[in-house]
Amino acid sequence: EGDNILLSADYSQIELRILAHLSKDKALKNAFDKGEDVHARTAADIFGGSIDQIDEKSRHMAKAVNFGIIYGLSAFGLSRQLNISRNDAKNFIDQYFLLYSKVKDFMNNTIAEARECGYTLTMFNRRRYLPDLKSDNRQVRESAERIAINSPIQGSAADLIKVAMIRLSRSLKKIKLSSKMILQIHDELLFECPIHEKKEIESLVSKEMEGACRLSVPLVVDMGWGKNWSEAH
């Protein structure tokens, strides 16, 4: 409306940061602690060389594995996604788990715990029940195992942004800004703001979103401004 502008505030790689926190993997945590491009770091460690030598193709392959692991991506799935042989995809995943060995331990332990108690937990203790972990049907059981791995990560990210929204709603009312939180899109919050509140709202949003939960790696929020949603990105 009028001279108002939009602020887009998006958690940067929130699910991978939560994975680093939950798995306690030193290599993954170290990449985030240093503020590195985690996809380029993964590619550099697997293919060799330094981060600044990694080309876009190698980074794209590493990104596919980094995010695919969260969803229990198989070698077959990765081979189709990257248009490579299944053997190459398997080798890539094997290299990933050599690099981030605690991630593999976390995945195995999460499945075992979920099978024993019947559910997974997010960081905020929200349960997801998974009776199919004890199914006699292998495909059904393996699907439940992938859900067991993903739910604590994706579920915690969903919980975390809701905590951030509550904090921001309270803060906006307390300091009586005219800026409004108007939309949540996955890991992103969208605000409509008067231009004169730009500096104040940016500082507030950063503080409340990055302080919504204490992780063992930094929470980072990427921000952009624009007259429309596209421009704000």
Catalytic residues: 10
Q: Indicate the length of the chain as a whole number.
A: 233
Give me the residue label for tokens 């992103």. 188
The H-or-E segment that residue 226 falls in is strand 221-226
* 75, 68 Cβ separation under 8 angstroms: no
Give me the residue label for tokens 């730009």. 198
CA distance 8 to 221: 10
The H-or-E segment that residue 65 falls in is helix 56-70
CA distance 162 to 184: 9
CA distance 128 to 147: 9
Based on the number of CB atoms within 10 Å of its own CB, is 160 exposed (0-12), middle (13-18) or buried (19 or more)? Answer: buried
**How many Cα atoms occupy the beta-carbon half-sphere of 30 within 13 Å?**
9
* Neighbouring-strand partners of residue 158: none
Measuring CA to CA, which residue among 179, 219, 182, 185 is closest to residue 202? 179
